[in-house]
C-alpha cells in the first residue's frame, strides 16, 4: 500500500478477501474495500449487512477468519498505540464512564494523544454545545454521540471511523453532529457506516454498498452522479412498458402517459436514440439527478438480481 508512483492515490484503508465467520454464519464474505486518502467513504447497507463487523475488524476489536485489512499502512491485527493515536473512533454503542463529567473525561484522554489540541477541544465543545460540567450519565443519547465525537476530534486524527453515528438522533442533533464533524474535517479521511443516506449525501465522496456480507459495489459519488440519471418521458398516448428495454434502465414505471426509469449508463445521444427506437409518441424527455437513496435502492436491487449495472 502507499504511493508507488507519481500521482497514484494512497489508500488509507484497504482490505483483501476480508472474511468473518461466527459459527456457521458468514458475516463477511470476501470483502475488498478501497478507501482513498482524504476521502469521505460511506459504507451503507441494511441492518445485518455486516457494516459493524467490518468496522470491528478494521479496529482490531475482532480478528478476521480469512483475508487482511490494512489501516494506515499496517495490518489491522498489528495496530498499536502509534496507529491508534492517529485513528478516531465513534460508535453508537461506545462506552464512556457515566460517573465522569464531560471535561473530566476529556482531561483523562489527553495524555494518550501526543497531538491533542486543547484549543481545538474547547472549540469542539462549543460547536457541539456540550456542557463541560455535566456528568456523562446525565447526557441524552444525542449528547452522548456528540461527546464521542468530541473525544475523537481534538487530536486531529488522520482517519476518523464512524459506526452509525446518527442512529436514533433527532433531526436537530443529526444536523449539529454533522456540522461539528464537517467543521473540523480538515485533511482527515472519514470512513462512516450509516443508513441515513439523506444525511450523508452532502459530504461523502465515495460509497460502498454492503449486503449480506458482500460488497456489491463501490464507486465515487462523482462517477455515480455522472452515469446515473432519472428519465421522465412524457407521451401523447398511454405509456406502456417498452419492449426490449436495455438492462441499464432500472425501475421502469408507467403511469398514465408518463414513462419513468433510471438510466445507469447515461449518455444523452445514446439515450435519445434508444428512446426513439423503443418508445412511440414522445412529446418530451426530462432528465433529472437521482437522490442517493433512490440510486442505491435501484442499484442494490439490480445487483442482487445479478444484473451488471
Q: What is the pLDDT of residues 38-88, one digit of tens each?
A: 999 999 888 888 999 999 999 999 999 999 999 999 999 999 999 999 999
- In this prediction, residue 298 has a pLDDT band, given cuts at 50, 70 and 90, of confident
Is the pLDDT at 6 greater than 80? The verdict is no
Q: For residue 309, what pLDDT is reported? A: 65
How many other CB atoms are there within 10 angstroms of residue 300's CB atom? 18
CB 92 within 8 A of CB 140: no
Rounded to the nearest angstrom, the gap between the alpha carbon of residue 147 and the centroid of all alpha carbons in its chain is 21
pLDDT surpassing 80 at residue 286: yes
Give exposure, 63-91, as e/b (b: 16+ Cβ within 10 Å).
ebeebebbbbeeebeebeeebbebbbbbb
Mean pLDDT of 212-230: 91
Q: Residue 308 pLDDT > 70, yes or no?
A: no
Q: Please, which pLDDT band fits residue 8 given cuts at 50, 70 and 90? A: low
Specify the CATH superfamily of domain 11-220. P-loop containing nucleotide triphosphate hydrolases (3.40.50.300)
- pLDDT, mean of residues 152-166: 91
pLDDT surpasses 70 at 102 = yes
More confident site: 94 or 272: 272
Question: What value does the mean pLDDT take over residues 23-45?
Answer: 93
What per-residue confidence (pLDDT) applies to 101? 96
pLDDT confidence of residue 4: 42
Q: Are 152 and 90 in contact (CB under 8 A)?
A: yes
As a whole-number percent, the residues of the chain with pLDDT over 70 amount to 96
Distance CA 208, CA 45 (A): 8
Taking 80 as the threshold, does the pLDDT of residue 186 lie above it?
A: no
Which pLDDT score is estimated for 253?
Answer: 94
Q: Where are the domains of the chain?
A: 11-220, 229-289
Instruction: Categorize the per-residue pLDDT at 289 as very low, low, confident or very high, splitting at 50, 70 and 90.
Output: very high
Going by C-alpha positions, the residue among 155, 182, 136 that lies closest to residue 40 is 182
Q: How far apart are CA 53 and CA 184, in angstroms?
A: 27
The pLDDT tens digits for 223-274 are 988 999 999 999 999 999 999 999 999 999 999 999 999 999 999 999 999 9
The whole-angstrom distance between residue 84's C-alpha and the CA centroid of its chain comes to 21
The pTM for the full model equals 0.86
Give the pLDDT of residue 139.
93
Amino acid at each position: 500500500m502507499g504511493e508507488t508512483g507519481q500521482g497514484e492515490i494512497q489508500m488509507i484503508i484497504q482490505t483483501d478477501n476480508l472474511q468473518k465467520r461466527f459459527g456457521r454464519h458468514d458475516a463477511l464474505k470476501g470483502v475488498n474495500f478501497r478507501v482513498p486518502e482524504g476521502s469521505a467513504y460511506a459504507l451503507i447497507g441494511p441492518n445485518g449487512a455486516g457494516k459493524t463487523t467490518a468496522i470491528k475488524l478494521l479496529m482490531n476489536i475482532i480478528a478476521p477468519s480469512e483475508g487482511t485489512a490494512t489501516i494506515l499502512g499496517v495490518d489491522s491485527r498489528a495496530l498499536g498505540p502509534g496507529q491508534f493515536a492517529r485513528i478516531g473512533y465513534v460508535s453508537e454503542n461506545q462506552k464512556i464512564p457515566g460517573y465522569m463529567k464531560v471535561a473530566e473525561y476529556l482531561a483523562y484522554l489527553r495524555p494518550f494523544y501526543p497531538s491533542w489540541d486543547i484549543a481545538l477541544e474547547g472549540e469542539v465543545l462549543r460547536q457541539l454545545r456540550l456542557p463541560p460540567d455535566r456528568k456523562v450519565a446525565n447526557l441524552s443519547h444525542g449528547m452522548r454521540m456528540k461527546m464521542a465525537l468530541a473525544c475523537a476530534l481534538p487530536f486531529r486524527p488522520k482517519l476518523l471511523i464512524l459506526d452509525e453515528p446518527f442512529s436514533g438522533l433527532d433531526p436537530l442533533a443529526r444536523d449539529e453532529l454533522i456540522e461539528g464533524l464537517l467543521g473540523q474535517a480538515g485533511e482527515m479521511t472519514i470512513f462512516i457506516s450509516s443508513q441515513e443516506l439523506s444525511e450523508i449525501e452532502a459530504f461523502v465522496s465515495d460509497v460502498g454498498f454492503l449486503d449480506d456480507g458482500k460488497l456489491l459495489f463501490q464507486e465515487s459519488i462523482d462517477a455515480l452522479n455522472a452515469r446515473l440519471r432519472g428519465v421522465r418521458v412524457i407521451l401523447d398516448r398511454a405509456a406502456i412498458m417498452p419492449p426490449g428495454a436495455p438492462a441499464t434502465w432500472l425501475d421502469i414505471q408507467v403511469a398514465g402517459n408518463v414513462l419513468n426509469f433510471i438510466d445507469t449508463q447515461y449518455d444523452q445521444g445514446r439515450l435519445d436514440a434508444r428512446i426513439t427506437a423503443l418508445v412511440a409518441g414522445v412529446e418530451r424527455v426530462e432528465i433529472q439527478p437521482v437522490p442517493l437513496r433512490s440510486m442505491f435502492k435501484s442499484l442494490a436491487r439490480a445487483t442482487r438480481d445479478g444484473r451488471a449495472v
